[in-house]
Structure 1
Amino acid sequence: MSRERDFDEFYLGSVRKVTAQLVALLGDAGEADDAVQEAYARAWQRWDSVSRMDDPIAWVRVVAYRIKVSSWRATVRRTVAHRRHGPPADVPDVSPDSVALVAALRRIPEAQRRAIVLHHLAGLTVEQVAAEVGAPVGTVKARLSRGRTALAGFLGETADDRMTGEHSYA
């Protein structure tokens, strides 16, 4: 019999019973089903050794139960950490200018966007940007120039606004 057919018969012949047992153990059909499916996936990955065990169904049942216990433990650790450290600090609201900038950045080519973000937002020099993106300095300068021009158009800036540093995000 082929490996796949052997596993399929094992799965079809045991999955309902193992799922029912896990529902009884865990008290939640959804959690039981998730754990059982993960256990059978692991059994398939190790089918050569699992199939030779005296009781492969017991192996699947134990693995499924351990999967849920591990999940519960992770939940407890997160809860303890949350209680110890408290809720995360409030994140300030995103300004309309930031939303407009991100929307405009999405509209320019990736190479220009990367150059602008690295230079203007991350504070890298043109030379550092060139090194990070693996492009010549002249290419980075061209990307910055073209990107700024494109962004100005998307953000509704005029040439006069760029010269004075004023912005109208209409």
Structure 2
Amino acid sequence: MGDVDGFDEFYRGSRQRLLGCVYLLTGNLAEAQDAVQEAYVRAWQRWSTICTYDDPEAWTRLVASRIAISRWRSLRSRARAYLRHGAVESTPGPGIETVEVVRALRQLPEEQRTAMALYYLLGMSVADVARETNAPVGTIKARLARGRIALAPLLALDAEEVADV
């Protein structure tokens, strides 16, 4: 039973029993399915060894149970941390200015939009933007200039202010 057909036969013959067992441990079908799936993945990866065991299903059941318990412990730890530290403060939504800028940026060609985002929003240098986008430095400078000019009417900015930037 050391080949693909052997694993398929093993899987078909044991999947329902294994899922039922892990479901009884977790009380949650989705968690049980995830744990069993991960156990079968691990069994498949080691199938040449596991198929020689007296009871490959026992090995897979043990692995699935340990995965389920590990996930339960992780959830329990997160719940304790939540109780200890409280809820994370919610992040406020974007301001109207941010929404307007995003709307305006969406109207630019992709190359200009990318250059503008990398340069102005991420603070990358022109040389870094050029390296990131595989474009010459001069091309990036032109994209930035054209992007600023295109954004001015979209954001109702003074064209002279934009040219000075």
Which of the five TM-score ranges fits, normalised by the shorter chain?
Answer: 0.7 to 0.9
Moved over 6 A (4+): none
Q: Any residues of structure 2 matched to 1:109-148 within 5 Å, and which?
A: 109-127=109-127, 129-130=129-130, 133-148=133-148
What SS does structure 2 have at the residue aligned with 1:41?
helix
Structure 1 CA distance, aligned partners of 2:41 and 2:131? 44
Displacement after TM superposition at 1:124 (Å): 4.3
CA spacing shift, 1:129–1:22, aligned 2, 3 Å:
closer
Partner of 2:72: 72
Displacement after TM superposition at 1:5 (Å): 0.9
Uncovered stretches (5+) of structure 1, i.e. residues with no partner: 166-170
Displacement after TM superposition at 1:128 (Å): 5.1
Partner of 2:41: 41
CA spacing shift, 1:107–1:50, aligned 2, 3 Å:
farther
Partner of 1:57: 57
Structure 1 CA distance, aligned partners of 2:30 and 2:8? 22
TM-score by length of structure 1 reads 0.79
Bigger mean CA deviation after superposition, 17-26 or 116-125 = 116-125
Partner of 1:168: none
Deviations 1:37-89 (CA, angstroms, capped at 9, x unpaired) = 22112211111111111210011111111111111122123223333433223
TM-score by length of structure 2 reads 0.81
Identity %: 48
Uncovered stretches (5+) of structure 2, i.e. residues with no partner: none
Count of aligned pairs: 162
Partner of 1:157: 156
Displacement after TM superposition at 1:117 (Å): 2.1
What SS does structure 1 have at the residue aligned with 2:92?
coil
